[in-house]
């Protein structure tokens, strides 16, 4: 695509973004339906499958960027995507309405555990970026990339144990958590694709996966070319425009969850997706044939810290439960907007 004109590349990028949104809607609904029918999330293998399905745009971009040697773009999209996807909660808060903030309605502490898991795995990213390439296993896989996957796996196991058998009770008057897991049936309406067979749902799931992967590759190729022509740093482009494009499915599913009253799921899904996203550094290492984290650099360290800060703001909001809204947003969302704006400004300053 490097021989195409910039206006045509922009059109392809927009079309790929639209395809990502459209396929993401069906991907979210079909994974929800398949999990309800097959109980995929009850076992670790199913959890990993559902996590991969929810992160397919990032998977496609990571594989495409790593295969072409564009390691900074791959790292920037994975790390910067955490901050951008956390900002989806601002939109969810706005859709919730002006009666009570989103974090007041969550009414569960499980999303806080998922937020702490994000902090844990991103800490692994920050430490792994400081390791020299010579410490890579077989010269290919960073030990930090492997450690992040292990931490995520153990964290998911602990969170599921807590979800099934909490050792504490929580009283949050006025909260409306909704469903705490996708396998729970909605009393007011059937599950997605309830009238279709499992085979049909699986076929729609496969088609949505294919469209998402193709669109993801299109986003990476066109985006990388446009960024080069505009003289934009790969990390900055991956962490802002590209991360926003890949966050479109999260925007759709998050808003849908809030409108259905699943406030705890809306927050938990964002944190859960962010925690899994950095596990893709292991995939990037294997595709690139070299450790990706050591090439992350100062910009990605800044973005990782920004993602941790935004996660902490909403985790604190779930516990503190602010009651008042301003401009249809809770004080945590307003603070997140300020911090995100300062973070992006600082990113440009750090870049120089």
Domain boundaries, the chain: 6-351
Residues of the chain with pLDDT > 90, as a percent, come to 18
Output phi, psi for 192, to 5 deg: -55, 140
Q: What is the pLDDT confidence band of residue 329, given thresholds at 50, 70 and 90?
A: very high
- Asked if the model's pLDDT at residue 44 lies above 60, the reply is no
Element at 1 (helix H, strand E): none
The CA distance from 145 to 308, in Å, is: 18
Lowest mean pLDDT among 20-24, 138-142, 237-241, 276-280: 237-241
CA torsion sign, 292 to 297 to 299 to 300? positive
Task: Tokens 């990028």: give the residue.
Answer: 13
Look up residue 346 and give its two tokens: 């600082």
DSSP E strands: which ranges in 124-239? none
Tens-digit pLDDT profile for residues 145-157: 999 999 999 998 8
Q: Rounded to whole angstroms, what are the CA distances from 107 to 48, 93, 264, 299?
A: 26, 15, 7, 36
The CA distance from 134 to 148, in Å, is: 18
The CA distance from 29 to 192, in Å, is: 6
Task: Tokens 């729609």: give the residue.
Answer: 204
Q: What DSSP state is assigned to residue 169?
A: -
Lowest mean pLDDT among 52-56, 75-79, 80-84, 163-167: 52-56
Q: What is the pLDDT confidence band of residue 188, given thresholds at 50, 70 and 90?
A: low
What does the pLDDT read at residue 149? 92
DSSP per position, 52-76:
HHHTHHHHHHHHHHHHTT-HHHHHH
What does the pLDDT read at residue 333? 94
Tens-digit pLDDT profile for residues 216-243: 888 878 877 877 777 666 667 777 777 7
Largest CA distance in the chain: 61
What does the pLDDT read at residue 116? 94
Element at 351 (helix H, strand E): helix 331-351
| Contact predicate 159/110, CB 8 Å | yes
Rg of the chain, C-alpha, whole Å: 20
Element at 276 (helix H, strand E): helix 263-277
Instruction: List the one residue out of 93, 140, 181, 138 whose CA is nearest residue 282.
Output: 140
Output phi, psi for 234, to 5 deg: -60, -35
The CA distance from 296 to 322, in Å, is: 36
The CA distance from 96 to 292, in Å, is: 39
Q: Which residues contact 349 (CB under 8 A, 6 or more apart)?
A: none
| Single pTM value for the model | 0.86
Q: What is the pLDDT confidence band of residue 319, given thresholds at 50, 70 and 90?
A: very high
- Asked if the model's pLDDT at residue 55 lies above 90, the reply is no
Lowest mean pLDDT among 59-73, 161-175, 184-198: 184-198
Buried b (16+ CB within 10 A) or exposed e, 45-58: eebbbbbbbbbbbb
| Contact predicate 85/247, CB 8 Å | yes
Helix (H, G, I), strand (E, B) or coil at 101: coil
């Amino acid at each position: 695509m490097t021989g195409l004109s910039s206006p045509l590349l922009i059109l392809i990028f927009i079309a790929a973004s639209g395809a990502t949104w459209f396929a993401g809607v069906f991907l979210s609904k079909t994974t929800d339906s398949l999990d309800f029918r097959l109980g995929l999330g009850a076992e670790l293998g199913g959890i990993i499958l559902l996590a991969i399905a929810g992160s397919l745009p990032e998977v496609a971009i990571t594989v495409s960027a790593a295969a072409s040697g564009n390691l900074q773009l791959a790292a920037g999209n994975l790390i910067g995507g955490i901050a951008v996807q956390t900002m989806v909660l601002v939109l969810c808060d706005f859709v919730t309405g002006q009666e009570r903030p989103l974090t007041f309605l969550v009414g569960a502490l499980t999303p806080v555990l998922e937020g702490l898991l994000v902090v844990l795995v991103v800490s692994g990213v920050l430490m792994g970026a400081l390791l020299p390439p010579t410490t890579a296993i077989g010269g290919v896989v960073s030990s930090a990339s492997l450690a992040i996957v292990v931490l995520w796996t153990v964290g998911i196991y602990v969170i599921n144990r807590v979800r099934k058998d909490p050792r504490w009770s929580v009283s949050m008057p006025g909260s409306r958590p909704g469903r705490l897991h996708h396998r729970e049936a909605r009393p007011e309406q059937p599950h997605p694709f309830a009238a279709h067979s499992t085979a049909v749902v699986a076929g729609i799931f496969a088609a949505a996966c294919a469209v998402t992967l193709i669109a993801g590759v299109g986003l990476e190729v066109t985006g990388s070319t446009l960024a080069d022509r505009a003289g934009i740093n790969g990390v900055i482009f991956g962490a802002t425009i590209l991360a926003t494009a890949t966050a479109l499915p999260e925007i759709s599913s998050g808003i849908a969850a809030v409108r259905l009253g699943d406030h705890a799921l809306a927050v938990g899904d964002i944190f859960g997706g962010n925690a899994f996203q950095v596990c893709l550094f292991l995939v990037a290492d294997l595709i690139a044939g070299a450790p990706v984290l050591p090439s992350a650099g100062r910009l990605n360290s800044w973005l990782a810290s920004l993602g941790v800060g935004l996660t902490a703001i909403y985790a604190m909001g779930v516990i503190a439960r602010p009651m008042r809204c301003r401009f249809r947003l809770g004080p945590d969302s307003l603070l997140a907007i300020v911090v995100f704006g300062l973070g992006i400004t600082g990113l440009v300053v750090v870049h120089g």
